[in-house]
């Protein structure tokens, strides 16, 4: 079944949006997992190196997520500002590349954090 460009663009937008939301949810869940699996000694929480590194990946991933939307808001706002709703504009390649780089960076940072966390937890279980 052939699709129109609008239908394909709508699907693309929906998948991109869902991937961003899922990435954000996984980062926050990863931070929660680091906290839950931390060893507690009285009022002090002790984190192993894997948890610290994983937590850093999650936090940086969330920061890049925020920057992705801030950069997009500023850059797209520059091209939309003052134009009518039916006007057309082309987004320069450098902006498109920047937005894609930020999108992939946040996804890869969070996936790396999940991998490090899983490895660290497996290492803890195997070590006893």
Q: Give CA 7 to chain center in angstroms.
A: 25
Tell me: pLDDT of 80 over 80.
no
Q: Is the pLDDT of residue 122 over 90?
A: yes
Are 23 and 68 spatial neighbours (Cβ–Cβ below 8 Å)?
Answer: no
Please, which pLDDT band fits residue 111 given cuts at 50, 70 and 90? very high
What CA–CA distance (Å, rounded) separates 84 from 99? 24
Model pLDDT for residues 14-33, shown as the tens digit of each residue = 999 999 999 999 999 999 99
Domains of the chain with bracketed CATH: 5-127 (1.10.287)
Q: Which residues contact 64 (CB under 8 A, 6 or more apart)?
A: 102, 105, 106, 109
pLDDT, residue 92, reads 77
Q: What is the pLDDT of residues 40-50, one digit of tens each?
A: 888 888 999 99
């Amino acid at each position: 079944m052939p699709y129109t460009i609008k239908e394909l663009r709508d699907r693309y937008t929906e998948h991109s949006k869902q991937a961003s939301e899922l990435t954000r949810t996984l980062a926050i869940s990863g931070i929660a997992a680091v906290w839950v699996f931390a060893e507690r000694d009285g009022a002090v929480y002790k984190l192993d190196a894997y948890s610290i590194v994983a937590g850093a990946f999650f936090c940086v991933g969330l920061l890049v997520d925020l920057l992705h939307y801030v950069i997009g808001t500023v850059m797209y706002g520059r091209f939309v500002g003052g134009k009518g709703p039916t006007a057309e504009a082309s987004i320069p390649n450098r902006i498109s590349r920047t937005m894609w780089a930020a999108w992939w960076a946040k996804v890869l940072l969070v996936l790396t954090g999940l991998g490090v966390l899983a490895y660290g937890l497996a290492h803890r279980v195997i070590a006893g």
